[in-house]
Amino acid sequence: MATSFVSGLQGQRVIVTAGAGGIGEAAVRLLHDQGCRVVLCDVAQDALDRIAAELPGVTCIRADVSDEGDVQRLFDTALSVLGGLDALINNAGIAGPTGGIEDIAPADWRRCLDIGLTGQFLCARLAVPAIKAAGGGAIVNMSSSAGRHGYAFRTPYAAAKWGVIGLTQSLAKELGPHNIRVNAILPGIVEGPRMDGVIRDRAEKVGISFDAMKTRYLETVSLRRMVTPQDIAGSIAFLLSDAGRNLSAMSFNVDGNVETL
Give the max Cα distance, the chain.
54
At residue 153, the 3 state secondary structure works out as: coil
Residue 217 is among the residues annotated as catalytic for this protein: no
Give which of 14, 235, 206 is closest to 100, Cα–Cα. 206
DSSP state of 59: E
Instruction: Report yes or no: 187 and 254 within 8 Å, Cβ to Cβ.
Output: yes
> What is the distance between the alpha carbons of residues 258 and 23, in angstroms, rounded to a whole number?
18
* Residue 200, C-beta contacts closer than 8 angstroms, at least 6 positions apart: 210, 213
Question: What does residue 35 show for φ and ψ, rounded to 5 degrees?
Answer: 95, 10
Residue 99 backbone class (left: φ over 0; alpha: ψ -120 to 50; beta: rest): left
> What is the distance between the alpha carbons of residues 82 and 11, in angstroms, rounded to a whole number?
10
Instruction: Report yes or no: 160 and 93 within 8 Å, Cβ to Cβ.
Output: yes
Catalytic-role residue among 75, 109, 151, 157: 157
* Residue 202, C-beta contacts closer than 8 angstroms, at least 6 positions apart: 98, 153, 154, 213
Give which of 240, 244, 165, 207 is closest to 13, Cα–Cα. 240
Catalytic residue numbers read 157
